[in-house]
Amino acid sequence: MKILALETSAKSVSAAVTENGTVLASAYQNRGLTHSVTLMPLVDGMLHAAGLTLDDMGLIAVANGPGSFTGLRIGLAAVKGLAFPRETLCAPVSTLEALAAAHTGEGTVLCALDARRAQVYSAAFDLETHERLMDDDARAVADLAEFVENCKKPLFFVGDGAALCYNKYGNVPGVLCVPPALRNGRAAAVAYVAKQMAQRGEAVLPEALLPDYHRLSQAERERAERLAAEAARTEIPEDTAKGKDQHQ
């Protein structure tokens, strides 16, 4: 089965086609250009160069989060547009699980994506057993200290939030450095995880694809803060209310 996979969760964008674990074609761009402009030309060029078409695909995979809210929405919208006309099944892949899947060997990988506000979307995996050691979530970089300091195996960081982690924990014994060029997500790894999901019967129809943000958007946070402030201003303090009752 051929799998078309897209990775748009961070600054870089990539696409790949795999078959039975072999990468047939791939394309990658990391110039900071808008994904809405670069993604589809990247996919079209890759398929054309490889002599493939969308009709050849048995599954379309996409990193559905966590990550950049805008990037995730662009990737999901693109996959839905490609899959709907052909009723192609889709695989919504954890961005962090795909990051881990790109690495093998001994030790522990902590996947981290820059979530701003001194936070990273993070998860950790044992590379030998493939056991998940930490669930996907948004965490303060400082809150990773206990896990990093108590990790029993060699530990390294990947993802566009890896630099934040190395800045804080790079001198901790047992922490190994990964070159920046090898830290970012790749669509081929998304396809790898998607193949496993399909084998477990976890592929879904395109209309079931949803982003997994793991945090409210900035607009949602600001709205919640504004509503809370307005509620606090209009609330009558209990002592004031009692005083009014006594004077009536």
The whole-number pLDDT of residue 242 equals 54
- % of the chain surpassing 90 pLDDT: 84
User: What does the pLDDT read at residue 107?
Assistant: 97
Q: What share of the chain is helix, strand, coil (3-state, %, to 5)?
A: 45, 25, 30
The answer to whether 24 and 52 have CB atoms below 8 angstroms apart is yes
pLDDT of residue 247: 47
pLDDT, averaged across the chain? 91
Of the CA atoms within 13 Å of residue 150, those in its CB half-sphere come to 7
pLDDT digits (tens, 9 = 90+) for 149-199: 999 999 999 999 999 999 999 999 999 999 999 999 999 999 999 999 999
pLDDT attached to residue 231: 75
Condensed to tens digits (0 to 9), the pLDDT of residues 77-136 reads 999 999 999 999 999 999 999 999 999 989 999 999 999 989 999 999 999 999 999 999
Residue 248 confidence (pLDDT) above 70: no
Q: β-strands 90-94, 59-65: how paired? A: parallel
| Share above pLDDT 70 across residues of the chain, in percent, rounded to a whole number | 88
**Residue 216 in this model has a pLDDT that exceeds 90:** no
Written as six digits, the tokens of 159 are: 């993802």
The token pair at 20 is 């039975």
